[in-house]
Amino acid sequence: MIATIFVTALLVIPAAILIVIGDQVDPLSEAKRISRKSARASNDKTQLRIRLEELGKGSDKEYEEFRIKQYGYCAGSAAVGFAFLLAVSGSLALAIIGSVIAAVLIFLLIDRQLTQDVKKRRELIEAEFPAVVEMLTLAIAAGETPMRAMLRIAKSANGAIAHEFEIVVTGVRSGAPLHESLDAMGRRVKSVMIRRFVDALVTATLRGAPLVEVLSRHAVEARGNQRNRVMGAAGKAEISMMIPVVFLILPISILFALWPSLANLNLFAS
């Protein structure tokens, strides 16, 4: 009886509060305001803004939407877990502990999924980088300006780097210098390869160095890095393939080789 009253109060009290303040405050706006305030107060210790910016979602609205979605899934999982455990076990303490654990797990899973998305995008950018640098080198060698070459790649190619070039072109058209837009791209994409490329391109642009030579050198280096990355992945795959060979196939082979001898020894012993 007490548990039923507690669950009813847990569901009715928030609804009553929303009805009372509904004419004065928009719940969604209030949630966004609280989310913004808490994010600024915590100084983004989880680096959520940095990861969202790397995915191209760096606006305050997208940050707030992600936080509201994360907290909403946590609250929903906590409510479902609480109701389920309370109905199954009948223990209020167990239901509360289970709901808290469910909320924490959902929070960590969503955060981990975001980290995996950032990692996949970074790997995709590094895989696209050699081809994009070669395209940029050919376009500039043909007489186009860096801005025009980036715009051509942004329009003709599909990929993360093409999208980043589109952001750079949009920034330059809005009044920002080219080197600042490129530097923002290097800070936005957390990749050592992209950072070195951007630094070299900015230095060559500011000092008037020949861009074709700089880009050609980076294209050769990018192909070498890609080859090393492929060889490293092949080495890891080779090690992974050795696990079933050593722990499954080899013991079975040894067993088949020794079984007749063991059988004969047992026969002689008997």
> What is the tally of structural domains in the chain?
2
CA distance to 163, 196, 201, 231, per residue, from 54 (Å): 12, 17, 20, 27
Other Cβ atoms less than 10 A from the Cβ of 61: the count is 9
101-119 pLDDT, tens digit per residue, is: 988 899 899 888 888 888 8
Q: What is the mean pLDDT of the chain?
A: 76
Residue after which a domain boundary falls, among 64, 91, 118 = 118
150-194 pLDDT, tens digit per residue, is: 888 888 878 788 888 888 888 888 888 888 888 888 888 878 888
- The whole-number average pLDDT for the span 250-254 is 82
Q: 250 in a domain, yes or no?
A: no
CATH of the domain at 186: 1.20.81.30
Q: Are residues 169 and 198 in the same domain?
A: yes
The residue type found at 104 is: V
Q: Are residues 131 and 203 in the same domain?
A: yes
- The whole-number average pLDDT for the span 214-240 is 79
State the Cα angle at 227 between 221 and 229, rounded to 5°: 105
Q: 242 in a domain, yes or no?
A: no
Q: 9 in a domain, yes or no?
A: no
Show Cβ contacts of residue 168 under 8 Å, excluding neighbours closer than 6 positions.
150, 178, 181, 182, 184, 185
Q: 13 in a domain, yes or no?
A: no
Q: 239 in a domain, yes or no?
A: no
H runs (alpha helix) in 90-145: 92-141
- Which long-range contacts does 168-172 make (Cβ < 8 Å, 24+ apart)? 172/147
Compute φ and ψ for 25, nearest 5 degrees. -130, 135
Instruction: Supply the pLDDT for residue 43.
Output: 53
Identify the CA nearest to 141 among candidates 219, 211, 217, 222: 211
- The whole-number average pLDDT for the span 26-46 is 48
Tokens 């080198």 locate to: 137
Residue after which a domain boundary falls, among 118, 150, 179 = 118
Max mean pLDDT among 92-96, 231-235, 263-267 falls in 92-96
234-250 pLDDT, tens digit per residue, is: 777 777 777 777 788 88
Domain membership of residue 74 as a residue range: 27-118
pTM to 2 decimal places: 0.59
